[in-house]
Structure 1
Amino acid sequence: MAASHRAGVIHRDLKPSNIMASAGVNLHNLKITDFGIATLTEEVFDEAARAGDLTRSTSGTVRGASPFMAPEMMFREPGENPGPAIDIWSIGAMMFKLLTGEFPFGVYLEAAVNVRNRTRKPWPVFMTSNAQFAPLARELQTIVDRCLSYDPSGRPSAADLVERCQDLCYLAVDRKVGEIDKFIQNGYSGFIDGESDTVFFSVESVYGATQPDMNANRTVCYSSFPGTPRPRAHPVIVLKS
């Protein structure tokens, strides 16, 4: 996105369906698509603005993008041309969804109303309740909070965002997928049947609101590190079944 903005190109419609990721759980490659949608989006919003009420538009483009759309794009007047900060808002909204599993303002008309009223969902407690994840989680929350500033001038530029993310300290180890084999120590730890071996894990290494179990929440994603007698999984995230 920083390269796009340096070239003077604003996407205007950033959302998960416009981002292609490499197969599997490891995001080695990400590509932004549908840059051409910018013209279509502008036409749709001009039509909606002329109708007098954007939130009642039946356009699939508007409905699909609204959970990630900046307020100055969502409620703009004819002739207004929002700048690159609209893409930064969209990045922040997508980061919020990735980190929490929730849309920051809801979806469809709910999103439009909540953005208008500046009513955003709070950060979930699980992000900072675990001391292992809290430092990085707080840094990410600060970045997202800035991206979701209601004042476009309060958002970082794409170049600033790149620098902030480069300064983060995080694991860059390939992820694997496995299933919980069994729990030990009264459920405090257990073993994961991995892709090539059995891996030990502690519930203290689980990130997210959902804890693994032997039923619907059995499939997990994790990184593996050397350990004795078994490799150690960290962090562990329950995958949707």
Structure 2
Amino acid sequence: VPGVDNLVLDAKTLAHIFDGKISSWNDKEIKALNPDAKLPSTKIQAFHRSDESGTTDNFTKYLKAVAPADWKYEGGKAWQAKGGQSAQGSSGLAQQVKQTAGAISYFELSYAADGINTVDIKTKAAEPVKATTENASKAIAAAKVAGKGKDLALELDYNPSADGAYPITLVTYEIACEKGNKADTLPATKSFLNYIASEDGQGQLADAGYAPIPDAIIAKVRETITALS
């Protein structure tokens, strides 16, 4: 947003923006969340993915979970709301945001570089939460393990009360068979997974714009890898 360094939004306002119900950056809803900001009358240019994507699925799950009265769409990998503009891939969205005045979109943090500012999200926590890899890790730490046994699938809280937990966080999984793996390929599989779960592997994620797995969960991941047979 031109002239605004730190912008705060919440699920309700984001739902209204991406559903075309808020059209300018000085709208009263945005002003209420940013009372000290000099918001311009610039027209909002909301961009969504033209292709199916996990980021669309996750973003709309967040809107549906936290602002169900304001986001009436079911969600999924394909964008369902009418209006707005579209681009293919996260790189396409990032490029449009970078070159279009008043633009807003959603994509991986790794694409939010070279002059693209991120939005602070108002949650149930005391302060709005910045989009950082550290805060994404806090959101993962606050998640519940929804899977059973060795299944470590997580159930994220899209409206967390934990300080610093960024709510629009997407978890990527590696899927492996717990038992019955081929003897000739199992060592390579475990070697790959062990590296990803190692301190060295996790240590490289933040530099690439991805969130390391919190200690309590990564310990369970390592135990699961060791038990593969």
TM range (shorter): under 0.3
More strand by share: 1
More helix by share: 1
Greater Rg, structure 1 or structure 2? 1
